Amino acid sequence: MTRLVILPGLLCDARLFAAQVAAFDAVVVDGYYGHADSIGAMADWALARMPDGAALMGHSMGGRVALEMWRRAPDRIAGIAIANSGVHPVRPGEADTRHALLDLGRRSGAAALVDRWLPPMMVPGTSTDDTVYRTIHAMAVDAGVDVFATQIRALLDRPDAESVLPTLTCPVAVIGAEHDGWSPVAQQQAIAAAAPDAVLTIIPRAGHMAPAEAPAAFNRVVDDWLARIDRTDFHPLNKRMPS
């Protein structure tokens, strides 16, 4: 099976993808956000550490990193999954919202920032005592305010991603979630419509943190997408094999 490389999103690391690592022996490129303050630099960091012919699953901001990696090195990538992500440019008011969170973190610490940031990401009604919530909360607090500052700087100066979608010649999975208010269903539908070989799936009873909120359903989508990659003649490693 094609090797799966996971690109985390804002304040996330391998803890969000424990179920995918266990199921697919995936490589999570976490830590790369601490070394780069732009989407392009994140893409370069990940490209330097991924095996050729890998399938990229980018979650949230990681979806933008995956598309930037395709822009730079399409011949090294066997497939792309864009999960709970977006391709739109910076929207009115977005910078103010992100900087308000950063200011809160600088005044009151990472826990206060995450207390404000995380609940809208989860399925409405999720208890703060829920095991998944507590794991994600600890993960984001551990990332800290300085990493958040670096990441939002990268996001607010992000390159155009929408124009990359029509150039994707690999199998594409677009994964959304029923209760993802940050990356809503309509946004996922638009992404899938713009990519030539995209299959859209909306995970029920999940929010922005779908890989951990609904791991079984999420993994079924990933498994189907990886199987599509393994069947396609596009696979970069297949292309390099002698006829």
All domains in the chain, ordered by first residue: 4-90+156-240 (3.40.50.1820)
Q: What is the reported pTM?
A: 0.94
DSSP H or E run through 83: strand 77-83
DSSP strands (E only) in the chain: 4-7, 27-28, 54-59, 77-83, 172-177, 198-203
Check residue 225 and give its pLDDT. 98
The mean of the pLDDT values for the chain is: 93
Mean pLDDT of 61-77: 98
pLDDT at site 35: 66
Query: Three-class SS of residue 208?
Result: coil
pLDDT at 80 over 50: yes
Query: What token pair was written down for 48?
Result: 């330097």
